[in-house]
């Protein structure tokens, strides 16, 4: 169970969000064609996109897909590369913690201030929650990777 | 000083292989904290609000549509059909890709969305038929910039409002320059293909084969008809068209061609999510970065300093283009238009440029910014669609960049290209 | 930095020089910019505060700007009351259709005790409301037919703001309201994805919508006020004398902004007249519009707060009496 969550959590959430986005926008086109408009389809799609991007940030860490520039790293040997990768992951990790801290405070502020979205009437803190949740997951995934890299290097060195 | 911190931090982090998006965000964060006039919340809310935009949604949806068409057999049929048409032409596939981007520009108002939609199909096709993968990716990445030159184009709407110029005229004025850029890209592709010997197949051109492939690809070829018809028939907006492409692609792939089943969908979605997210997270941090530049009024200061130098028309226009290309390296197009138009248009008018002409020059210059590092959204989409590294792609794109600069100067020196139809 | 040295000379001055960021969503040709510039000028004359104006939603649209005020990442903004209603539902009251009959009545109401009550509500939301300014009466344009009667509205696809109240009002009038991002509006009108939209004259003119719209009717269905807002966080760092100066500047600039807005209304209407067929809605027909939207008023009484609606109607009545 835990293993399944570990493997699929971000992926499942992200797919659900993307499917909801698709359905929302398609519904919007259909209903407008039949002279009836829903006020909330576009908003729902936009808020799903915000969640998708922040959850996806963590997913992209798992799949090591984030775009980076390897001008320097491709000139390094294997072990130097690993050190640089861990440094980069650590920087990313530290940044995630900073954003996690401040965005959590923001969500709490917004919770108190009771702003609602125009169409769905959704409390806005729910939209902003995407940021701390996304970066909490990102931080966790980075930590996993740092640990794995360090341990494999250790075992390699033991050999 | 703050600018120095901003750029050195960014470059340092990028060289440490920290992801581009995160490097930008950290650079902005450190600058904000060291200047002490803004809080971290500014960064967070700018990032979130930049994604709270409907037009931006065309990017993930076209990426998804491309992925579905790729796996569902639609792309293959389209590629087979175009192969039957262009197989005997030197660089035929590259030329077909560029022309497809130009046609697609009539649907999309976005550079990255164009790269996603066309690249998803044409890059693998070019690689399959023996093209160098960096060249293949560069072709579509560069041609994607045509998306904002040919109407509809959100940057042109923004310019028209900012400059109080007819948006309808701007739309028309963009057509020939868009075609010219297309031509310049085709010319370079032809030269390169000739040099590399991408002369195509030896089997003779056959009408019966074209007809056979056309019949096979019928339903796939119906996609542009539906999308163009839907937009110009007033059924959906260009952004919504991306979802229509997704739904149509799903129906054809699942129920007609039956090359995928529902079980394949999670993998298709995951791939599209990854490609979209890594681009959108860069958009988010680039917007925060751009907002910080606006708050510090850096684009304004640079523009004013530059305008002070402009004594003659030639000096002015050269500086203006240089400024726009520079800004295009670091800022998102619409933000750049909103900030720079009120500064540049009054001066360009004094130097005798028609505001519509200035608008075309601005949009084309900023469109070139889509393919220039460090912040070139087309580059990022292209690299991730093709699975190659951004720096390799940046090198491969240099000749295309030069072709576009040549086109830009023709657009500047031949005003009738923009103004003859308005 | 000149200002800095001047201040440190005068020991009596308790305040330190500050730079405040002022965000607005319209561009620098809109009357709101004229008002904001006037405000900047007055503030810089009477205090050591520097005001930097950021037009064209450079820092964020109205909704985002209000939020940034709350979080303290922005100092001043001038949103319409529409987006403000997401932060305090009482502000929906200004979006009720056909309440104000004239600008004069609006002027009276927006400087009445009722206006003070409304601005006070914002204090709980980390916002300081200084004054009401004017976006103005909203009017209907479309490319299908001239709207002379309520029946002509029937079936028109009209782009509205993303507000349930606006949607309900247009539905009550028989139209098919469609919320849509403003960035996509021009192309959508051009291709006919929607038939029409509604905005004050200067917005229609400045956004070139006359290029893609043929008919304009002076429906004046809603009068949209603007609110000059301060971040409560910034406000608390200001001295009492600065606060007084800012309040005065807000009022004076507000008067000026109204004047410019009304001149611009005339200019814009003249400009639109060159491109579009303009229809004046007969009084009897306007009554029918108003009648048709009465259920909307009933529906939103609870959302807004019954006593706010009553006070609003009272203030309007008083203003109308004064006007006679
Ligand atoms: Na386009
Ligand atoms: Na660029």
Chains that touch B (3 or more CB pairs under 8 A): A, C
- Rounded to the nearest 5°, which phi and psi values hold at B408? -60, -45
Chains that touch C (3 or more CB pairs under 8 A): A, B
Q: Does C86 touch chain A (CB under 8 A)?
A: yes
* Alpha helix positions (H), A1-159: 2-33, 41-62, 78-113, 124-128, 130-158
The number of angstroms, rounded, from the C-alpha of B347 to the middle of its chain's C-alpha atoms is: 28
Q: How many Cα atoms within 13 Å fall on the side-chain side of residue B193?
A: 25
Answer yes or no: do B273 and A18 touch at CB < 8 A.
yes
> Could you list the pLDDT tens digit for every one of the 324 residues in chain C?
344 444 333 333 444 568 999 999 999 999 999 999 999 999 999 999 999 999 999 999 999 999 999 999 999 999 999 999 999 999 999 999 999 999 999 999 999 999 999 999 999 999 999 999 999 999 999 999 999 999 999 999 999 988 889 989 999 999 999 888 888 899 999 999 999 999 999 999 999 999 999 999 999 999 999 999 999 999 999 999 999 999 999 999 999 999 999 999 999 999 999 999 999 999 999 999 999 999 999 999 999 999 999 999 999 999 999 877
- Residue B18 tokens read as 């920290």
Q: Does C55 touch chain A (CB under 8 A)?
A: no
Q: From A59, which residue of chain B is nearest by alpha-carbon distance?
A: B274
**Pair B390, B14: CB distance under 8 Å:** no
Instruction: State how far residue C87 is from chain A, nearest Cα, in angstroms.
Output: 4
Residues 6+ apart with CB under 8 A from A43: A117, A118, A119, A120, A122, C162, C179
Q: Does B50 touch chain C (CB under 8 A)?
A: no
Chain C residue numbers with beta carbons less than 8 Å from the beta carbon of A110 are 67, 70
**Pair B164, B73: CB distance under 8 Å:** no
B227 or B202, which is more confident?
A: B227
Domains: count for chain B: 1
pLDDT tens digit string along C251-279? 999 999 999 999 999 999 999 999 999 99
Ligand in nearest proximity to the CA of B154: 1
Distance between Cα B170 and ligand 1 center (Å): 12
Distance between Cα B335 and ligand 2 center (Å): 13
pLDDT bin (cut points 50, 70, 90) of residue B1 is: low
Answer yes or no: do B240 and A88 touch at CB < 8 A.
no
Which residue in B337, B338, B328, B327 sits closest to B298, CA to CA? B327
Chain C residue numbers with beta carbons less than 8 Å from the beta carbon of B239 are 184
**Pair A69, C30: CB distance under 8 Å:** no
Answer yes or no: do B244 and A106 touch at CB < 8 A.
no
**Cα A158 to Cα A79, A151, A153, C323, distances in angstroms:** 14, 10, 9, 92
Q: From B275, which residue of chain A is nearest by alpha-carbon distance?
A: A65
Answer yes or no: do B237 and C56 touch at CB < 8 A.
no
Q: Of C89, C177, C179, which is closest to A42 when you measure between CB atoms?
A: C179
Answer yes or no: do B21 and A67 touch at CB < 8 A.
yes
Instruction: State how far residue B42 is from chain C, nearest Cα, in angstroms.
Output: 6
| Cβ atoms < 10 Å from Cβ of C260 | 20
Which residue in C100, C106, C97 sits closest to C150, CA to CA? C97
Answer yes or no: do B42 and C192 touch at CB < 8 A.
no
pTM for the structure as a whole: 0.93
Chain B residue numbers with beta carbons less than 8 Å from the beta carbon of C193 are 234-237
pLDDT bin (cut points 50, 70, 90) of residue A84 is: very high
pLDDT tens digit string along C217-242? 999 999 999 999 999 999 999 999 99
The span from the CA of B77 to the CA of B221, in Å, is: 9
B374 prior amide bond cis, ω within 30: yes
Q: Which residues pair with B196 in a beta bridge?
A: none
Torsion from C-alpha of C175, C176, C179, C183, nearest 10 degrees = -80
Chains that touch A (3 or more CB pairs under 8 A): B, C
Instruction: State how far residue B154 is from chain A, nearest Cα, in angstroms.
Output: 18
Domain limits for position B357: 2-419
SS (H, E, C) chain C: CHHHHHHHHCCCCCCCCEEEEEECCCCCCCHHHHHHHHHHHHHHHHCCEEEEEECCCCCCCHHHHHHHHHHCCCCEECCEHHHHCCCCHHHHHHHCCCCCCCHHHHHHHCCCHHHHHHHHHHHHHCEEEEEEEEEEEEEEEECCCCCCCHHHHCCCEEEECCCHHHHHHHHHCCCEEEECCHHHHHHHHHHCCCCEEEECHHHHHHCCHHHCCCEEEEEEEEEEEEEEEEEHHHHCCCCHHHHHHHHHHHHHHHHHHHHHHHHHHHHHHHHHHHHCEEECCCHHHHHHHHHHCHHHHHHHHHHHCHHHHHHHHHHHHHHHHHHC
pLDDT tens digit string along B312-328? 889 999 999 999 998 88
- Among B41-45, B315-319, B329-333, the least confident range: B329-333
- Rounded to the nearest 5°, which phi and psi values hold at C66? -60, -45
DSSP per residue over B190-219, as a string? Answer: HHHHHHHT----SSPP-HHHHHHHHHHHHH
Answer yes or no: do B391 and A69 touch at CB < 8 A.
yes
The span from the CA of C30 to the CA of C32, in Å, is: 5
Distance between Cα B238 and ligand 1 center (Å): 9
ipTM of the complex: 0.92
Q: Of C70, C162, C178, which is closest to A32 when you measure between CB atoms?
A: C178
- Residue C62 tokens read as 């109205």
Answer yes or no: do A65 and B278 touch at CB < 8 A.
yes
Answer yes or no: do B166 and C211 touch at CB < 8 A.
yes
**Pair C289, C281: CB distance under 8 Å:** yes
- Residue B201 tokens read as 């197949």
**Pair C84, C303: CB distance under 8 Å:** no
């Amino acid at each position: 169970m835990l293993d399944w969550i570990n493997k699929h959590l971000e992926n499942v959430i992200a797919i659900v969000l993307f499917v909801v986005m698709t359905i929302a926008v398609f519904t919007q086109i259909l209903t407008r064609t039949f002279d009836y408009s829903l006020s909330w389809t576009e908003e729902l799609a936009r808020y799903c996109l915000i969640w998708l991007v922040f959850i996806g940030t963590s997913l992209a860490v798992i799949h090591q897909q984030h775009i980076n520039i390897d001008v320097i790293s491709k000139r390094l040997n294997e072990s130097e590369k690993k050190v640089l990768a861990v440094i980069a992951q650590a920087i990313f990790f530290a940044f995630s913690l900073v954003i996690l801290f401040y965005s959590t405070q923001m969500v709490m502020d917004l919770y108190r201030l009771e702003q609602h979205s125009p169409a769905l009437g959704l409390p806005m803190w729910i939209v902003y929650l995407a940021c701390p949740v996304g970066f909490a997951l990102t931080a966790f995934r980075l930590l996993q990777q740092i640990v794995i890299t360090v341990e494999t290097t250790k075992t390699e060195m033991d050999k | 000083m703050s600018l120095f911190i901003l750029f050195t931090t960014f470059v340092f982090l990028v060289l440490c292989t920290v992801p581009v998006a995160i490097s930008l965000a950290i650079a902005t964060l450190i600058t904000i904290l060291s200047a002490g006039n803004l809080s971290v919340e500014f960064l967070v809310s700018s990032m979130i609000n930049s994604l709270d935009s409907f037009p931006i949604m065309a990017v993930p949806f076209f990426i998804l549509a491309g992925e579905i068409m790729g796996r569902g057999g639609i792309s293959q049929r389209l590629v087979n059909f175009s192969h039957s048409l262009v197989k005997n032409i030197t660089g035929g596939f590259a030329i077909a890709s560029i022309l497809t981007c130009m046609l697609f520009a009539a649907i999309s108002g976005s550079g990255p969305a164009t790269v996603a939609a066309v690249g998803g199909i044409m890059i693998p096709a070019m690689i399959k038929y023996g093209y160098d993968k960096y060249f293949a990716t560069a072709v579509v990445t560069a041609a994607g910039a045509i998306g904002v030159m040919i109407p509809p184009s959100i940057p042109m709407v923004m310019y028209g409002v900012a400059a109080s110029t007819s948006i309808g005229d701007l739309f028309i004025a963009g057509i020939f320059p868009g075609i010219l850029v297309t031509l310049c890209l085709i010319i370079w592709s032809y030269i390169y293909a000739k040099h590399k010997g991408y002369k195509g197949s030896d089997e003779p051109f056959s009408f019966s084969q074209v007809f056979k492939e056309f019949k096979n690809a019928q339903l796939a070829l119906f996609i542009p008809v539906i999308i163009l018809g839907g937009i110009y028939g007033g059924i959906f907006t260009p952004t919504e068209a991306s979802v229509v492409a997704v739904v149509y692609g799903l129906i054809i792939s699942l129920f007609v061609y039956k090359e995928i089943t529902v079980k394949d969908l999670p993998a298709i979605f995951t791939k599209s999510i990854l490609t979209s997210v890594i681009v959108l997270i860069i958009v988010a941090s680039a917007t925060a970065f751009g907002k910080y530049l606006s708050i510090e009024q850096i684009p304004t200061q640079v523009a004013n300093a530059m305008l002070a130098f402009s004594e003659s028309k030639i000096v002015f226009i050269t500086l203006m283009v240089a400024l726009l290309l520079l800004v295009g390296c670091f800022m998102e197009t619409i933000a750049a238009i909103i900030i720079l138009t009120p500064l540049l248009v009054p001066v360009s008018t004094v130097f005798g440029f028609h505001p519509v002409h200035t608008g075309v020059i601005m949009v084309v210059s900023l469109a070139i910014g889509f393919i220039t590092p460090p912040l070139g959204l087309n580059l990022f989409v292209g690299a991730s669609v093709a699975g190659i590294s951004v720096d390799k792609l940046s090198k491969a794109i240099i000749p295309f960049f030069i072709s576009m600069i040549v086109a830009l100067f023709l657009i500047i020196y031949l005003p009738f290209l923009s103004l003859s139809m308005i | 930095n000149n200002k800095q040295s001047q201040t440190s000379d005068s020991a009596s001055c308790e305040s330190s020089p500050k730079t405040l960021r002022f965000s607005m969503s319209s561009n620098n040709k809109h009357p709101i910019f004229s008002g904001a510039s006037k405000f900047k000028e007055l503030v810089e004359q009477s205090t050591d505060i520097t005001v930097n104006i950021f037009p064209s939603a450079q820092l964020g649209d109205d909704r985002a700007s209000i939020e940034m005020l709350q979080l303290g990442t922005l100092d001043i903004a001038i949103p319409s009351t529409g987006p403000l209603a997401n932060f305090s539902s009482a502000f929906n009251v200004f979006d009720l259709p056909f309440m104000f009959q004239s600008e004069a009545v609006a002027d009276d109401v927006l400087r009445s005790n009722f206006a003070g009550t409304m601005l006070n509500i914002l204090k709980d939301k980390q916002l300081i409301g200084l004054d009401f300014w004017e976006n103005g009466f909203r009017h209907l344009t479309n490319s299908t037919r001239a709207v002379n009667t309520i029946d002509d509205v029937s079936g028109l696809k009209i782009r509205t703001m993303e507000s349930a109240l606006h949607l309900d009002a247009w539905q009550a009038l028989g139209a098919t309201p469609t919320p849509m991002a403003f960035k996509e509006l021009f192309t959508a009108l051009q291709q006919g994805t929607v038939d029409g939209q509604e905005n004050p004259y200067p917005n229609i003119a400045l956004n070139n919508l006359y290029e893609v719209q043929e008919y304009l009717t002076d429906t004046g269905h809603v009068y949209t006020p603007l609110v000059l807002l301060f971040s409560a966080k910034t406000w608390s760092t200001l001295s009492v004398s600065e606060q007084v100066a800012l309040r005065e500047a807000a009022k004076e600039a507000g008067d000026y902004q109204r004047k410019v807005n009304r001149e611009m209304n005339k200019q814009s209407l003249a400009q639109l007249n060159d491109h579009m067929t303009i229809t004046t809605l007969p009084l009897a027909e306007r009554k029918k519009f108003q009648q048709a939207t009465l259920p909307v008023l009933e529906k939103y009484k609870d959302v807004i707060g019954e006593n706010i609606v009553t006070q609003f109607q009272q203030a309007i009545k008083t203003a109308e009496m004064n006007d006679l």
